């Protein structure tokens, strides 16, 4: 999906209460930044942050961090937020840096509608590749807990194999998640789009 370039994106990010520019300075210190010891939930690739924003608004006793590599998307996300939330932080960085940003302090990881990178030569870029799962080992506080949703069956099957190879156990799974009518589900922009088209949403929660 092509995203419009926000010309003053750097200025928008620099002035936002929600964006942390010197994010590596807070490795192993994120609870100090939030000024509490509440759990920290991380989403990689939150896009325009609808899901993350609504999660933070609904659960003020949980801290939320979004890691998004596209600065224009972060700027757009900020413009859509109705109010500032003390339990929501955004980081403009590449996911490859994740193990230098967090050190055993994340309680749950959201992977919502990640890029499937369908070509075999790009498999290592998938956020559920063994390369990324190895990085995640060092970011989790205690148990490794991942909550994934996608519309892409190929990515879903690949992810299940990766989880199994890394010793994750499936705690919950659905091949058509919206058939459950889960009242607690907070949808992303992509999820709403695909659901309206009648596409099944694949969901899995894994733990190790």
Residue 115 catalytic? yes
Contacts for 203 with CB less than 8 Å, ≥ 6 apart? 147, 148, 149, 172, 173, 174, 177
Give the torsion sign (CA, 155, 156, 161, 162).
positive
CA-closest candidate to residue 29, choices 88, 104, 92, 97: 104
User: Of 103, 115, 151, 172, which is the active-site residue?
Assistant: 115
Kindly list the catalytic residues: 115
């Amino acid at each position: 999906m092509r995203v419009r370039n926000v010309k003053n994106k750097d200025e928008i990010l620099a002035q936002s209460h929600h964006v942390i520019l010197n994010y590596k300075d807070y490795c192993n210190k994120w609870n100090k930044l939030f000024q509490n010891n509440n759990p920290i939930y991380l989403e990689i690739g939150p896009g325009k942050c609808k899901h993350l924003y609504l999660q933070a608004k609904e659960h003020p006793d949980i801290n939320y961090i979004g890691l998004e590599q596209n600065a224009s998307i972060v700027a757009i996300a900020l413009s859509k937020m109705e109010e500032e939330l003390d339990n929501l932080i955004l980081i403009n960085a590449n996911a490859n840096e994740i193990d230098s940003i967090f050190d055993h302090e994340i309680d749950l990881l959201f992977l919502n509608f990640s890029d499937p990178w369908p070509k075999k030569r790009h498999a290592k870029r998938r956020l559920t590749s063994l390369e990324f799962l190895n990085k995640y080992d060092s970011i989790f506080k205690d148990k490794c807990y991942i909550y994934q949703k996608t519309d892409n069956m190929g990515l879903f099957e690949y992810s299940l194999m990766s989880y199994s190879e890394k010793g994750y156990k499936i705690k919950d799974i659905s091949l058509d998640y919206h058939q459950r009518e889960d009242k607690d589900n907070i949808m992303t922009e992509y999820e709403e789009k695909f659901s309206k088209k009648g596409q099944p949403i694949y969901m899995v929660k894994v733990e190790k």
